């Protein structure tokens, strides 16, 4: 409807802008894929050429010889558990703060906000010290727990906001039927909040998969390194980024991508937007 008010120039500007934006997204990604499939000599000979043949050799090389297989597996282990922990803790806490008589609610909510305001880089050094003392360096479980804790704060705030906006009648009905706190959570709150819960899980997965600074510091062994740490190290090993690194980048992006695609059905964009009001 707004479009009726556009002039011809305005319309052209719009198409142009959208075109530029879409191109700016497709081209870099397609290029990375192209380079990943280029034989290394072709790339060295002509680093910006589109031709040069196709090979899956780079993928094979980084997978078996440069540690990407182990790194991918580490990432999957660490982040699956970490996202689960963050989502679980956050959902429970969000429910408690929204629907139960928790003492000192305002204070606790402020603590949650404080929790998301502390930069991860700022706590990296003490966490490294803590990990050294507790023997958690190179511990995948330990890192999962740390990730889960850090990211449970924003999850709490999201679920709290979402559950506050759910109709009170549902909870009252549950209470009249004799359900206690846990029962209401299990049978009413959690099922109804499923879009929010799934969205939190997917986003937690993305945040933790992408997390770099803690990973660089806490996971140094080749067997426990995450795939993002590995890719980061690859980018620093040579002056320019070549086909093997590009292949690693493709591999590293696939899991998060797939999760987003799979979870599309259950995620709702507007719920995030609605939660902002809270």
Partner 1 sequence: MLSRSKPLLPTIEVSERAKVLSLDTAKATWVRKSRGRPVRRRFFAFLFVAPTLLGLGLFVFFPAARVFYLSLTDYSGLGRPEWRGLDNYTYLANDGQAFWRVLQNTALLLLAVPLWIGVPFLVSLMLFDRPSGKYIRAVLFIPVMLPPVIAGGAFRMLLAEGGLLNESLSSVGLDVLALPWLSSERLVLLTVALIIGWAVLGIAVMFFTSALTSMSATYVEAAIVDGASWWQIVRYIYWPAVRTTRQFLSVLFTIAVVTSLFGWIYALTQGGPGVSSRTLDFSVYEAGIQTGRLGVGSALAVVGILLVVIVLTLRRVIDRGNAADWGR
Residue 122 CB, shortest distance to partner 1, in Å, is 4
Residue 55 CB, shortest distance to partner 1, in Å, is 18
Q: CA 84 → CA 42, 199, 249, 271, distances in Å?
A: 43, 12, 25, 20
Residue 223 CB, shortest distance to partner 1, in Å, is 20
Window 80-109: residues binding partner 1 (CB under 8 A): 85, 88-90, 92-93, 95-97, 100-103, 108
Binding-site size, partner 1 (CB under 8 A) = 101
- CA nearest 228: which of 26, 67, 36? 67
Of these, 40, 77, 124, 165, which contacts partner 1 (CB under 8 A)? 124
Binding mask 214-243 for partner 1 (x = CB under 8 A): --xx----------x--xx--xx---xx--
Of these, 12, 18, 170, 262, which contacts partner 1 (CB under 8 A)? 18
Alpha helices in 100-193 (DSSP H): 105-117, 120-134, 140-164, 168-176, 181-184, 190-192
User: What are the structure tokens assigned to 236, written together?
Assistant: 């620093």
Stretch that binds partner 1, among 52-60, 61-69, 180-188, 191-199 (CB under 8 A): 180-188
How many residues comprise the chain? 278
Q: Does 156 bind partner 1 (CB under 8 A)?
A: yes
Question: What is the number of other CB atoms lying within 10 angstroms of the CB of residue 213?
Answer: 15
User: What are the structure tokens assigned to 166, written together?
Assistant: 């759910």
CB nearer to partner 1: pick between 111 and 170? 111
Q: Does 8 bind partner 1 (CB under 8 A)?
A: no
For residues 5 and 2, give the distance between their C-alpha atoms in angstroms, rounded to a whole number: 6
Binding mask 55-84 for partner 1 (x = CB under 8 A): ------------------------------
Q: Does 145 bind partner 1 (CB under 8 A)?
A: yes
Residue 64 CB, shortest distance to partner 1, in Å, is 21
Of these, 28, 110, 221, 238, which contacts partner 1 (CB under 8 A)? 28
User: What are the structure tokens assigned to 28, written together?
Assistant: 């870099």
User: What are the structure tokens assigned to 148, written together?
Assistant: 């889960």
Please tell me whether residue 277 adopts helix, strand or coil conformation.
coil
Q: Does 135 bind partner 1 (CB under 8 A)?
A: no
Element (H, E) at 257: helix 243-263
Please tell me whether residue 242 adopts helix, strand or coil conformation.
coil
Q: Does 144 bind partner 1 (CB under 8 A)?
A: no
DSSP 37: T
Instruction: Let me know: does 96 contact 104? Beta carbons within 8 Å.
Output: no
User: What are the structure tokens assigned to 48, written together?
Assistant: 């910006």
Q: Does 191 bind partner 1 (CB under 8 A)?
A: no
User: What are the structure tokens assigned to 93, written together?
Assistant: 């806490």
Q: Does 9 bind partner 1 (CB under 8 A)?
A: no
Please tell me whether residue 126 adopts helix, strand or coil conformation.
helix
Of these, 22, 45, 60, 194, which contacts partner 1 (CB under 8 A)? 22
Q: Does 136 bind partner 1 (CB under 8 A)?
A: no
Q: Does 146 bind partner 1 (CB under 8 A)?
A: yes
Q: Does 178 bind partner 1 (CB under 8 A)?
A: yes
């Amino acid at each position: 409807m707004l479009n009726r008010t556009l002039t011809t120039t305005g319309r052209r500007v719009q198409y142009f802008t959208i075109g530029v934006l879409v191109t700016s997204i497709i081209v870099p990604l397609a290029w990375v894929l192209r380079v990943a499939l280029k034989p290394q000599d072709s790339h060295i000979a002509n680093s910006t050429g589109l031709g040069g043949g196709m090979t899956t050799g780079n993928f094979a090389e980084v997978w078996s010889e440069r540690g990407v297989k182990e790194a991918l597996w580490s990432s999957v282990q660490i982040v699956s558990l970490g996202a689960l922990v963050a989502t679980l803790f956050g959902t429970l806490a969000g429910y408690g703060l929204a629907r139960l008589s928790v003492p000192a609610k305002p204070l606790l909510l402020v603590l949650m906000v404080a929790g998301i305001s502390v930069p991860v880089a700022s706590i990296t050094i003490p966490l490294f010290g803590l990990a050294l003392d507790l023997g958690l360096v190179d511990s995948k479980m330990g890192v999962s727990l740390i990730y889960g804790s850090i990211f449970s704060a924003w999850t709490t705030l999201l679920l709290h906001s979402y559950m506050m906006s759910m109709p009170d009648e549902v909870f009252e009905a549950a209470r009249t039927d004799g359900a206690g706190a846990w029962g209401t959570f299990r049978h009413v709150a959690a099922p109804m909040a499923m879009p929010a819960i799934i969205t939190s899980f997917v986003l937690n997965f993305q945040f933790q998969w992408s997390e770099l600074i803690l990973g660089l510091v806490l996971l140094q062994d080749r067997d426990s390194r995450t795939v993002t740490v590995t890719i980061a190290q690859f980018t620093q090993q040579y002056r320019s980024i070549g086909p093997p690194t590009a292949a690693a980048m493709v591999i590293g992006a696939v899991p998060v991508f797939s999760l987003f695609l799979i979870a599309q059905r259950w995620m709702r964009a507007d719920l995030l937007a609605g939660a902002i009001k809270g």
